[in-house]
């Protein structure tokens, strides 16, 4: 019967990887973008290089100011969904707690 083969579930579980929710901005207290990815270094590099058309390229959002790590990408996706519904003040407060100077965290994650 379809869906009952244990090997399918094992393979699916093995392909699930961790994930990240991250905030990009253009300057301290500037425009905020919330994203999710399974590879934070690669994704931030893409934003910084302008490889992908869209909101971050249009607004020059190249500064990583906040991120959270999750063991399961599905949890990261859910967290991103929740954060996108937060008021801006909540997102700014989240950054201010962990990164009050709005420092670019990209050099830290690439060490």
pLDDT in tens, 13-63: 445 689 999 999 999 999 999 999 999 999 999 999 998 889 999 999 999
Tokens of 99: 């990164």
Query: Domains in the chain, start-ordered, CATH in brackets?
Result: 15-109 (3.40.1440.10)
pLDDT in tens, 70-104: 999 999 999 999 999 999 999 999 999 999 999 99
Contacts of 23 (CB under 8 A, 6+ apart): 32, 33, 34, 35, 64, 65, 66, 67, 91, 94, 95
The distance from CA 19 to its chain's CA centroid, rounded to whole angstroms, is: 8
Helices (H), 35-72: 40-49, 55-59
pLDDT band at 9 (very low <50, low <70, confident <90, very high): very low
* Cα–Cα dist 30/79, whole Å: 22
């Amino acid at each position: 019967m379809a869906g009952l083969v244990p090997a399918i579930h094992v393979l699916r579980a093995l392909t699930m990887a961790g994930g990240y929710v991250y905030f990009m901005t253009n300057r301290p207290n500037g425009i905020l973008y919330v994203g999710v990815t399974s590879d934070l270094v690669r994704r931030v590099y893409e934003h910084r290089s302008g490889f992908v058309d869209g909101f971050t390229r249009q607004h020059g959002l190249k500064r990583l100011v906040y991120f959270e790590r999750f063991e399961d990408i599905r949890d990261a996706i859910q967290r991103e969904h929740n954060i996108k519904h937060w008021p801006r003040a909540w997102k700014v407060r989240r950054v201010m707690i962990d990164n009050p100077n709005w420092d670019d965290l990209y050099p830290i994650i690439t060490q």
